[in-house]
């Protein structure tokens, strides 16, 4: 990916914790969701269809940490979050971390413009034009993120952003990964 520093043999934990401080501020998440699926339980399984038309679900990624993030083209923090999440997935590896970026109630043209403008971001892109998936998750404001553990249960919910919460978000996500993943060289 252009502009992304090469990954050295340092551990994944060290690489993620030192990921570009300025850019990662967009990942610092604030308040827990008011409504939506309960923590510790499986969230709604159906997430819509990807750009190729294939069904996307939480259960198809069992064994991985899954981040489901709801975004829109007009949401500045959301737009900053997407490339950062793509880099995190690249560092951790797609075999351990899946990121599903669900566009919130926008025309297909806006959804596709963002994807075309960010060709190097390796995420699973889903378009929720009618808000069916976002309603099942209780999404009413953006940005809104759900972190799902390897067993398919909702571990953390975040709505909004704050620079003070970045370390907490990173630690939450890392705590859900198996120890052997954290000990391996980044990108390995």
Question: What's the CA gap between 90 and 78, in Å, rounded?
Answer: 19
Rounded Cα distance between 123 and 125, Å, is 6
Across the range 145-150, mean pLDDT stands at 96
User: CB within 8 A of 89, min separation 6: which ones?
Assistant: 97, 98, 99, 122, 123
**What per-residue confidence (pLDDT) applies to 31?**
37
pTM exceeding the 0.85 threshold for the entire prediction: no
What pLDDT, on a 0 to 100 scale, did the predictor assign at position 22? 40
Residue 10: band (very low, low, confident or very high) from pLDDT cuts 50, 70, 90: low
Q: Which of 20-24, 83-87, 125-129, 142-146 has the lowest mean pLDDT?
A: 20-24
Fold of 28-183: Glutaredoxin (3.40.30)
- Cα separation, 141 vs 149, in Å, equals 23
Task: Enter the tokens of residue 92.
Answer: 């951790």
Domain ranges of the chain: 28-183
**Residue 174: per-residue pLDDT:** 86
Q: Does residue 180 carry a pLDDT above 80?
A: yes
Q: What share of the chain is helix, strand, coil (3-state, %, to 5)?
A: 35, 25, 40
- C-alpha 169/C-alpha 53 separation (Å) is 31
**Mean pLDDT, to the nearest integer, of 46-74?**
96
Cis peptide before 143 (omega within 30 of 0): yes
Q: Which of 93, 101, 96 is nearest to 124 (CA)?
A: 101
């Amino acid at each position: 990916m252009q502009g992304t520093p090469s990954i050295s043999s340092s551990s994944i934990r060290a690489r993620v914790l030192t990921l570009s401080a300025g850019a990662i501020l967009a990942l610092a998440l604030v308040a827990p969701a008011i409504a939506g699926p309960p923590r510790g339980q499986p969230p709604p399984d159906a997430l819509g269809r990807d750009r190729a038309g294939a069904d996307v679900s939480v259960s198809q990624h069992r064994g991985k940490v899954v981040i489901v993030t709801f975004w829109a083209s007009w949401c500045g923090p959301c737009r900053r979050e997407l490339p950062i999440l793509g880099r995190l997935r690249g560092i951790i590896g797609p075999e351990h971390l899946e990121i599903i970026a669900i566009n919130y109630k926008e025309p297909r043209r806006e959804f596709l413009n963002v994807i075309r403008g960010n060709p190097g971001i390796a995420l699973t892109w889903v378009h929720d034009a009618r808000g069916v998936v976002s309603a099942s998750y209780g999404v009413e404001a953006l940005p809104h993120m759900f972190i799902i553990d390897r067993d398919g249960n909702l571990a953390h919910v975040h709505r909004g952003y704050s620079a003070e919460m970045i370390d907490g978000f990173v630690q939450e996500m890392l705590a859900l990964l198996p120890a052997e993943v954290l000990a391996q060289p980044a990108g390995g």
